[in-house]
Structure 1
Amino acid sequence: MRRRTPLAVAVAVGACLTLAGCSADDGPELTVSGAFMPQPVDDMAAGFLTVENSGATADKLTSVTSDIADDVTIHESRNQRMRQVTSFDIPADGTLALERGGSHIMFMALKQRPKQGDTVAVELHFEKSDPITVEVPVKETAYRPQKH
């Protein structure tokens, strides 16, 4: 009987790990909303959007690319200072908000200056999730979305 007990425990633990670890619902589930770019007034532009993660696993926004500029970076603003960062956390069952006065996307040395009414394609790159392409509408320079 002693020989069967360790085997039974091993099988039970393995089954529990399999059930807990193989669910498709365990990963990040990302959606993007509220994207906009104020019409740029020089050769730089900023982009703003919200990434919602309805999944059970956190992720990170690690970079952004776009045909509009070769140099696209992500920045945070704290204590009236802006600095480039390597990633932004997207918590499990949480939100990453890139908004005016806070964290944002910077497009440096624009190849062309988009006008209000245009859209700019950007690709968001993540640590765990596949890239997401977003068509970002260009709004008036002073645009501020309504908060819900």
Structure 2
Amino acid sequence: MRRTERDAAFSEFVAARQRHLRRVAYALCGDWTRADDLLQTAFTKLYVAWPRIRHDGSEEAYCRQIMVRANIDESRRPWRRERPTDRLPDLPAPEPTPVEERSALFAALQALPEQQRKVVVLRHWLGLSVRETARELGIGEGTVKSHSSRGLAALEQVLARQR
């Protein structure tokens, strides 16, 4: 495949799947800015692997896997961890920009522990099988089932309280 054909095929994939994958990234991390960063990281890595991945038709799965792993990596970065301090900064933090109201389901989803949220998003939003979810997250199938069960029960509880 010539480079121009490769670039055209990659651009076509990005144009077709970008909105969906951005929502997946948001569901994984709960922040649009971080979701955009995850998606950009995923597309960059996907472009590098494009000739190899394109042949077996697993572009989207590969992209999701990159986003899941990049999200895990980012949450482990030292600057992501808060540190308590006795000294306050000289200037107060700016007021946050108002954000549109999130749906009750999405708010409840973000309240789940990280691993449960990832399992619920991959299993029930994206419709992956237990085996596919386990493979993408690098965990056992039994762990996927237990996280899925607990996550759905927690979502049910939160949503029932809001009715």
Provide TM-score, normalisation by structure 1: 0.28
